[in-house]
């Protein structure tokens, strides 16, 4: 009798050419897409060249995205981007994004239809798990593993155990995917899902738009997760079908699949969340934050820089000015998001509020550029990590929130709720 499997196990079994797999089993799988960026791909390319391989396994199934230090902030970053550019030209890489075509990789690739349900995707970036929102098994790997996949089109995994997280109840005002995942990480800790395929389910997830689903899967790694998956439904298919350029397969967990653990959350008790320094698990509800003055607010990143996030922030900040001596930085994540935000008037709203609007880039999220913190400064960001020195000086502080709380806080000059502006 065929073993009942989770969605993660089904995808890995299909790509390993096996009828079924079990947690702990080592499997070699074919890869649908291999991703590198301007920080991680140069090392992979160096390893690729050292191996003496004449060509990549498939020029259409590799994506190289210059997004972390672009527009180039210095000579070194310019040289890194050039490595991607030269390699792409040499091997005819179809999906190379630079200059005015680039965007934050984990928003750009789904937007381009390069990741689809049922895929196995590896990326030399820890937040590759974002694509689990589409029902793909997507995970971060090291640059050497990326190089091996660029050569062979394959990689190996130890099949992870799965944990199911069930979200029920009704969402409170201003609560979305960012709050649900921060709340989850706050409950289980940054090591609460080590090498686990986190599976997000329940009636609340069923009603979440794709932007919120991407946010939740994006931060699975912040709990130590190997992947963060949501089974595709009509909302997924409505997003995917207009973008897909190839066939795909939808997988879903069997009802009798075995889970390492099942955790249920009543969302009607979850208010907007704020993660305090210096870990994403240090979460508090907005009513418990207290008086935290701010020097900077950042709205963007692969976690919360989509058009829906900008719409929410613009709704909150419309008609207000940014607090004196506070910097609000808004970074649309792709040229498409930028253009739509301009069409809808969001960029005008941000400019009128006193915000700085930057190009599509990871920028300050990783302490790269376009928003570095000085000693003693505090920032609230819609990003995914708030480790020591993450956004600049090691004696600075980073807090995490959703876009609505970030926009309200930019006006208040301290961390606060959008309700305070109403």
Q: What is the pLDDT of residue 360?
A: 96
What single string gives the DSSP state of each residue in 236-292? HHHHHTTT-SS--------TT---SEEEEEEGGGPPPEEEPTT-TT-EEEGGG----
Rounded Cα gap, residues 100 and 278, in angstroms: 34
**Tens of pLDDT, residues 275-298:** 999 999 999 999 999 999 999 999
pTM for the model stands at: 0.95
Residue 1 has a pLDDT of 54
- Alpha-helical regions (H) of 133-274: 143-152, 177-188, 203-207, 210-218, 234-240
Domains within the chain, CATH numbers bracketed: 7-264 (3.30.499.10), 274-421 (3.30.499.10)
Q: What percent of the chain has pLDDT over 90?
A: 96
Q: Quick one: residue 91, left, alpha or beta (phi over 0 = left, psi -120 to 50 = alpha)?
A: alpha
SS3 80: helix
Identify the helix (H) or strand (E) that includes residue 327.
strand 327-330
pLDDT at residue 254, rounded to an integer: 94
- 301's enclosing H/E stretch is helix 301-304
Picking from 275, 239, 358, 371, the residue whose alpha carbon sits closest to that of residue 310 is 358
pLDDT in tens, 235-263: 999 999 999 999 999 999 999 999 999 99
Tokens of 50: 């050292």
| Exposure letters 281-296 (e unless 16+ CB within 10 A, then b) | bbbbbbeebeeeebbb
Locate 404 and state its tokens: 């609505």
Parts of the chain with a pLDDT under 50: none
The length of the chain is: 422
CB of 110 within 8 A of CB of 305? no
Provide φ and ψ at 109, rounded to 5°.
-65, -45
Per-residue confidence (pLDDT) for residue 49, from 0 to 100: 94
Three-state secondary-structure class, residue 139: strand
Report how far residue 327's alpha carbon sits from residue 297's, in angstroms, rounded to the nearest whole number: 6
């Amino acid at each position: 009798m065929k073993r009942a499997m989770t969605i993660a196990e089904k995808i890995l079994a299909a790509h390993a050419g096996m009828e079924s797999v079990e947690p702990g089993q080592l499997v070699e799988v074919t890869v649908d897409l291999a991703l590198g960026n301007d920080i991680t791909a140069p090392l992979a390319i160096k390893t690729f060249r050292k191996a003496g391989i004449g060509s990549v396994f498939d020029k259409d199934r590799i994506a190289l995205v210059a997004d972390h230090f672009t527009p180039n902030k210095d000579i070194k970053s310019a040289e890194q981007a050039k490595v991607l550019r030269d390699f792409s030209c040499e091997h005819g890489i179809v999906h190379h994004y630079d200059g005015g075509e680039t965007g934050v990789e984990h928003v750009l690739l789904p937007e381009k239809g390069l990741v689809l349900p049922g895929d196995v995707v590896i990326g030399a970036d820890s937040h590759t798990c974002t694509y689990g929102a589409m029902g793909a098994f997507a995970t971060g790997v090291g640059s050497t593993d990326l190089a091996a996949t660029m050569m062979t089109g394959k990689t190996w995994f130890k099949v992870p155990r799965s944990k199911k997280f069930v979200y029920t109840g009704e969402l409170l005002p201003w609560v979305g995917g960012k709050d649900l995942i921060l709340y989850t990480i706050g409950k289980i800790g940054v090591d609460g899902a080590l090498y686990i395929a986190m599976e997000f389910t329940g009636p609340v997830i069923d009603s979440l738009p794709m932007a919120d689903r991407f946010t939740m899967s994006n931060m699975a790694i912040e709990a130590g997760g190997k992947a963060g998956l949501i089974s595709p439904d009509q909302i997924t298919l409505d997003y995917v079908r207009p973008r897909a350029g190839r066939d795909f397969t939808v997988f879903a967990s069997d009802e009798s699949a075995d889970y390492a653990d099942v955790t249920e959350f009543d969302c009607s008790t979850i208010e907007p969340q704020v993660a305090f320094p210096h870990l994403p698990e240090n979460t508090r509800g907005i009513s418990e934050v207290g008086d935290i003055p701010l020097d900077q607010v950042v709205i963007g990143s692969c976690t919360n820089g989509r058009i829906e996030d900008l719409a929410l922030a613009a709704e909150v900040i419309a008609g207000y000015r940014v607090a004196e001596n506070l910097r609000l930085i808004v970074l649309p994540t792709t040229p498409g998001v930028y253009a739509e935000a301009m069409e809808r008037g969001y960029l005008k709203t941000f400019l009128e509020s006193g915000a700085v609007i930057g190009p599509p880039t990871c920028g300050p999220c990783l302490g790269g550029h376009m928003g570095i913190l000085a000693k003693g400064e505090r920032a609230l960001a819609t990003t995914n990590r708030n480790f020591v020195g993450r956004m600049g000086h090691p004696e600075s502080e980073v807090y995490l929130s959703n876009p609505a709380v970030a926009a309200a806080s930019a006006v208040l000059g301290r961390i606060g709720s959008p309700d305070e502006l109403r």
